[in-house]
Structure 1
């Protein structure tokens, strides 16, 4: 196996999307309806993906720093109030615990460390604790940090910006018209307001969707263009996982092709934004995971909030097999010797496939 030289990133970290959409609302709907051949729209998406992100794939690792104890009723979430989903509940981790999780994430090759906490939003004390932790991770590890902590006002956004936070996650999840179907304890407008406060503070926004919660194709188009209007620079596209205790009234089946078309639509509406294949990729995209990287340039490794997923090694193999390059936190441009990293696990051999032969002579 040859040593691969990972070239420096083709795009700088931006706070806001700057490039106009490549398709109209009607064009996005046609893609989702299947009226445009898959290979045709995927080729268009890949050309945009290659222009702004080259062959790199950014690997993100989530750290759930507080689980459960949530007063919100988001129907898709295993941590929502009264869910009785059986997930382990624990309070906010200590600053040292979070830092050590960041150390491990960097050792596993994460481009960005994503901290997620349940709840409506942090109070002043929690905001200051998170700020201290972010500052330490930034200074001592040189690792980019994304935080997802719910609703924020302008003052808290400014505190996090001062600490060095470069990305904040706050998903719109679905369209404005469909939002009351999945949550009643806060509004779509409150989410948009939080995004605006953080953007004004100079923090790049990560905001995406969950597909498969009973929304119409028009709902998907609406939220794709709402995200574009907010100039979101990082977009996680989740595919609904029916966790125990969920309260989504009309979940719908998703085919791998449809999931791929959703990713294509997001790329063509947001050509210079990071499009991330998020929760549900293993179960919904299935054999099309590799093909999805021709539209998306980012994914999660080592699982999601409360659901298992592909580990870091499996994710690296997926990226390499598709002809792309994993983008690590430690040294863009560094030579990566995949043979030493992956070892013999990457080889097609009798050692790795003990039942290699369908028929064997009887002893």
Structure 2
């Protein structure tokens, strides 16, 4: 296909997304299988959609690892899982003062959303009490949006978090339904979907995303995007596997930067009005092409992740400034 004709084809996907139509599976696959020479026009088409809904604003998020290394789950990608031998810190849920200090640090980093993350299958009642207490004080004293990620929720736990003032709850689908059993055996894909539905029923904003690079096919990546569109997640973190030594997936290579950019464009087309977050592994996988990710995505995590280091916060701020984009403060 001639370059001009291909450019029109990518722009037609943007037109389709902006009109509210869903891309077909075949169209989604064409995005992922595009020649690398097509990445810039592909991103330009994705940027049309991103700019329509979010302008040139970038939302920043900060994670605090509120409980580390004591997880009974066997997720193959995670250094905190029971099957991991990675040398990570192990501690029970952080006390309220430490969680409050993390919220203040989020504000210093210009993050509008503070994410309280705890490893585990789901929170105990004691852990939930601690999180609820901290959330209430943060809501009373700081202009932050709060996201919680505590695992699989019971109905009454979702209700309590919503009442405490949690704006958003994260529970990623992680991979395709078909690939799920090869990644985790201690819970199911359907349990994750059920938790996201509980979040929605209790009035919290649903956040659910994926981890790219865990042996899934391109067809399965398209299936993930379609599943998250159907789930109607408001925020979609796109993680790229950082293969940590000591985890079952330590042998997996990195996702090539150009492939990662195509994935971000795909999710923008499939979920046009949703917050697309460039999340864990971006530094390792996108490397020097990180700035280009913001032509499709509109949100970044700043600082460190759960057990791996992020890049300097000033570097992220500079990327946004150099693109001529703007940090959106205190936005969910």
TM-score, normalised relative to structure 2: 0.91
1:295 corresponds to: 296
SS in 2 for 1:194: helix
1:260 corresponds to: 261
Pick closer, same or farther for the CA change 1:315–1:249 going to 2, 3 Å: closer
1:118 corresponds to: 119
Structure having the larger proportion of residues in helix: 2
SS in 2 for 1:59: strand
Pick closer, same or farther for the CA change 1:322–1:291 going to 2, 3 Å: same
1:31 corresponds to: 31
SS in 1 for 2:301: strand
8 Å contact from structure 1 (residues 21, 270) kept in 2: no
8 Å contact from structure 1 (residues 128, 159) kept in 2: no
**Structure 1 residues not aligned, in runs of 5+:** 1-17, 331-363
Quote the Cα distance in structure 1 between the aligned partners of 2:65 and 2:186: 22
Quote the Cα distance in structure 1 between the aligned partners of 2:173 and 2:189: 7
The Cα offsets for residues 79-132 of structure 1, whole Å up to 9 and x where unpaired, read as: 000312101111100011101111121122111001110110012232222112
- 1:68 aligned onto 2:69: yes
- 1:284 aligned onto 2:285: yes
1:185 corresponds to: 186
**Which runs of at least 4 in structure 1 moved beyond 3 Å after TM superposition?**
18-22
SS in 1 for 2:286: helix
2:143 corresponds to: 142
- 1:225 aligned onto 2:237: no
- 1:306 aligned onto 2:307: yes
2:319 corresponds to: 318
2:7 corresponds to: none
Superposition pairs of residues 1-363 of structure 1, within 5 angstroms = 20-34=20-34, 37-248=38-249, 251-329=252-330
Pick closer, same or farther for the CA change 1:174–1:83 going to 2, 3 Å: same
8 Å contact from structure 1 (residues 214, 252) kept in 2: no
The Cα offsets for residues 317-358 of structure 1, whole Å up to 9 and x where unpaired, read as: 01111121112239xxxxxxxxxxxxxxxxxxxxxxxxxxxx
User: How many residues end up aligned between the 2 structures?
Assistant: 314
Quote the Cα distance in structure 2 between the aligned partners of 1:167 and 1:198: 8
TM-score, normalised relative to structure 1: 0.83
SS in 2 for 1:116: strand
SS in 1 for 2:206: strand
Pick closer, same or farther for the CA change 1:21–1:303 going to 2, 3 Å: farther
8 Å contact from structure 1 (residues 214, 249) kept in 2: no
8 Å contact from structure 2 (residues 254, 284) kept in 1: no
Shift in Å, 1:35: 5.5
Quote the Cα distance in structure 1 between the aligned partners of 2:204 and 2:83: 33
SS in 1 for 2:71: coil
8 Å contact from structure 2 (residues 214, 241) kept in 1: yes
Shift in Å, 1:20: 3.4
In our comparison, the structure showing a higher alpha carbon Rg is: 1
